[in-house]
Every structure is written in C-alpha cells, then in structure tokens.
Structure 1
C-alpha cells in the first residue's frame, strides 16, 4: 500500500494511493481517505479524491530524522573519505522536512549546495534496543529522500548540524510504500537523482555498506524511535551541486519520484 499525507480544502488527512483504472499516471491516481492514522489499525473510508486535486505534504511528520553518512563506499571515496568503522549518525530537525513539490531554499551561508538521493526508512511503532530479527516489525515502510547538504559548510565546520539541518534540507515523499520488504532492499532497489531532467546519480540499495537491519539495531541501542521517525540510509556516488532554479528529482524503484525546485532564500 502507498500511504500519502495531503491537504484539501484546508483539511489534512492520510490516504491510500490507488489507481482509478486509467493507467496509473498521476492524473489517474486517487486517494482513499484513511480513517485514523497509519501507525495503528485503520480502515479505508471509501471516500476518494483525485490526487491531482490535493496538495501532497511530507508523508510523515517525524519527531526526528536520523541520517547515516558514508554508507556507500563509492560515495565516501568520491569525497576523499574512507568507509567508517561504525556508522556515522547525525540528526536533521523537523524544521528541515518538506514534501514533494515544496521548494528547497538555498541557504545564505552556502555557495555549494548538493543533492543526495536516499532511501528513507519510516518507523511504524515506538521501539528501543531492537534485535535484528525484529527490525521488520518496527518499519511502516519506505519513501524517497533528498539529504540536501551545504557541502562547503560541512567541510569547514566540525559538525554537520548546519550543513545538513537547515530549513527545507530534508525533502521526503511522495508517499510511504508499505509493501517493500527488507529482502527487496538487500537485493537492490534502483536509486536515481536527476537535475533538470539530466541523470546525476544512479545506484542500488544493494551497495549499502550497512543494511537497514544494521542501522536500526545501531540507532536504537542509543535512542528510542517513535512512529513517523525517519532513517536516511545514505547516498550512492554522483553527488553534485544545485543552483537556484534547478528542479531536482529523486526516484526509487517501487516507490515513486520526489520532486523539488531550488529557490533563493527570501
């Protein structure tokens, strides 16, 4: 199931994304409004609205976004780094989260903004110290993410909080796909990034140094994850600069496409 969060006529709701029989394009998708929230038992209301008539919001409102750095060996190498002995963990604040179609605001303190296409894990239940065999039970699903990074700030500052945590630096969407299993991620989902329609990144989740299971175990040894929290699993090689006016799109096999435009911060 694909679960979207959206607004229509001033109201916010969750809905299951369904085809209306016209071919599965965006124009042929509808949202069956969910009764309740997706982190618990819910029912479909049967009330359907065309996807084209709503504004998609970030598919979840996370309490925290936990990022993982250098989880693809080729990406670590392209920036002159080694693969770390243990996962590099950082946090992005909730104010960094935006949805598909929202604008990324180029931060005033940077002159070298980069895209980073990533598979994002969405947590479905409160969890702490999760054993490896139970990881699948705490995951709601997966979505697309862009870990937008002020690369120059990342290089000159001793931590990554400003470089990766500025407002609008965490696009998520367009929805959460709940039918993808951990085996499919391990076997490899294609991760692609385009800028103005030109392909810049093309990788596979099979190339992650540490698996989703490894990351959930490692993170929950230290902190409790709450329903709606998000884990960014790292980016393949091919990262590069963004300019004001660019349209950047992250596409992940079996999920969909997250699209955002870069604007000057006003």
Structure 2
C-alpha cells in the first residue's frame, strides 16, 4: 500500500493512494492537486534519526574521483531538511554548484538493535524516495562534509509515498531515474549499491538503536548536474514513486 501525509482544508491527514487519487482516513477522496504534500512519515515523540550514505554507488564515487569506500561513509541530517512532494527547495545566492541526489530511503518499522543481516528486512517498515540536494561550494571534504552541504532547511524533499515493505519484492533491484525539466540526467539501479539495505541495518544496529520512523538514505548513482532556480527536478524509483521538486532562489 502507498501511504501519504497531506494538508487539506487546514488540517493534516493520513491518506492512501486510491485509483489515482487520495483516500483520507475519514473516507473522503481528493485529487492530488487539491492538497499540500508533507513528508510521508508519521510524527514521532522524539527527534527522528536520519542517517545518510555518501559514495554508496561505485559509479558515483568514480564520478567524484574517489575510490569506492571499504566501510560506509555516513553523516547525520536534521529533520528541518525534510519537505514534501511538489514543494520548493531554495538555492542560496551566489553558489556555483547545487545538485540533486536520487536516493532510496529506508524507513525503520520496529526497534532494531544487534540485528543480523539475515533478519534485517524484518525491521524495515517501508520505502520512500528522497532527493538529498548538496551544495558543492560548501564541501570541505567528501569524507567529512560541512553541515551546510546537507543540513539546510528544505534541502531534502521526500515522498510522495511511503510504500509498505511487504509490497516491494526486491528493494535491491529497483531502477532509479532523475529528470531536470523533462530531460533524463541520471539513471541507475539499487543493485549497484556498495552497501545494501540488509548490510546497513546490521551495521548501524551494532552500535546504535534504530527506532520506528528513523530514516536511512542509501546514496545516489552517478549523473548529478547543477540545478538553477526555476528547474523542476523529478527523482523517481521503480515501484516507489516519482518525487517532484522545484528549485527556487533564496530571498
């Protein structure tokens, strides 16, 4: 099932996809264009942990002239970076290179601690699409990115759907694609991850507790290009959804 979280008639609603529209919990059915889309994640009583992978596709590492890492390169993101489908991401004035990153996002479904690889999928609640924008101007070191590269408000659109894990037959064999103003600029497949989903669940849960609602952004393949104000960027993952985002100039 595909779940969404939206704002409609001045209230926040949980919804599911229904015949090309949205069915609210109270039974009403509304069109995609009638709502404001929010990140498709239930609110949590504590700060949500967001873990993000760098250089998790060998072709992207090569694109950036780095060798593939032997251990996950991970950084932590703040929740204020997250926005929903069809929302705007702001490009700061004066920057020279701001690019998208189409990523499969894992949503933890139950508390995970010391999980074995063979059991990892039992702890995944679902999947969504993330577009984790980066500003290369601020980058100090690919292995230790400056906070401004990845933790700015509005820099990580996510959605439109949270797809139940049971409805994704093989998350490690999904096609990824990005278009900018309708032109295909990035293509890849989750099978090309260096560290796959089961590995990551096992790896993180060895030393930290993963809680329901936590996110793991699993990295992007090669093909990133600079995006300018006015550009419409669509990051799409097979079976998960197409996330639409527009770049706007910061005030």
TM-score if structure 2 supplies the norm length? 0.91
Query: SS at the partner of 1:250?
Result: strand
Alignment of 1:14-25 (within 5 A): 14-19=14-19
Aligned equivalents of 2:209, 2:63: Cα separation in 1: 33
Aligned equivalents of 2:218, 2:167: Cα separation in 1: 15
TM-score if structure 1 supplies the norm length? 0.86
Aligned equivalents of 2:215, 2:107: Cα separation in 1: 5
* Cα RMSD after superposing both structures: 1.9
2:23 counterpart residue number: 31
Aligned equivalents of 2:138, 2:208: Cα separation in 1: 27
Unaligned runs of 5+ in 1: 20-27, 34-44
Aligned equivalents of 1:248, 1:120: Cα separation in 2: 17
- Please state if 1:142 is matched with 2:142: no
CA contact (8 A) 1:122 1:140 kept: yes
Structure 1 residue aligned with 2:154, among 168, 175, 189?
Answer: 168
2:7 counterpart residue number: 7
Shift of 1:132: 1.5
Residue-by-residue CA offset, 1:171-225 (whole Å, 9 max, x unaligned):
1000111155675122x11100111111010100111111100111112223222
Query: SS at the partner of 1:95?
Result: helix
1:58 counterpart residue number: 39
CA contact (8 A) 1:182 1:212 kept: no
1:42 counterpart residue number: none
Describe the shift of the 1:52–1:264 C-alpha distance in structure 2 as closer, same or farther (beyond 3 A): closer
2:109 counterpart residue number: 124
Aligned equivalents of 1:119, 1:203: Cα separation in 2: 11
Describe the shift of the 1:110–1:65 C-alpha distance in structure 2 as closer, same or farther (beyond 3 A): farther
Unaligned runs of 5+ in 2: none
Query: SS at the partner of 1:168?
Result: coil
Instruction: Give the total of aligned pairs.
Output: 246
CA contact (8 A) 2:52 2:74 kept: yes
1:250 counterpart residue number: 235
Describe the shift of the 1:169–1:263 C-alpha distance in structure 2 as closer, same or farther (beyond 3 A): same
Greater alpha carbon shift after TM alignment, 174-183 vs 97-106: 174-183
2:62 counterpart residue number: 77
Aligned equivalents of 2:110, 2:193: Cα separation in 1: 24
Structure 1 residue aligned with 2:52, among 63, 67, 83?
Answer: 67
CA contact (8 A) 2:107 2:215 kept: yes
Structure 1 residue aligned with 2:220, among 231, 235, 238?
Answer: 235
Query: SS at the partner of 2:195?
Result: coil
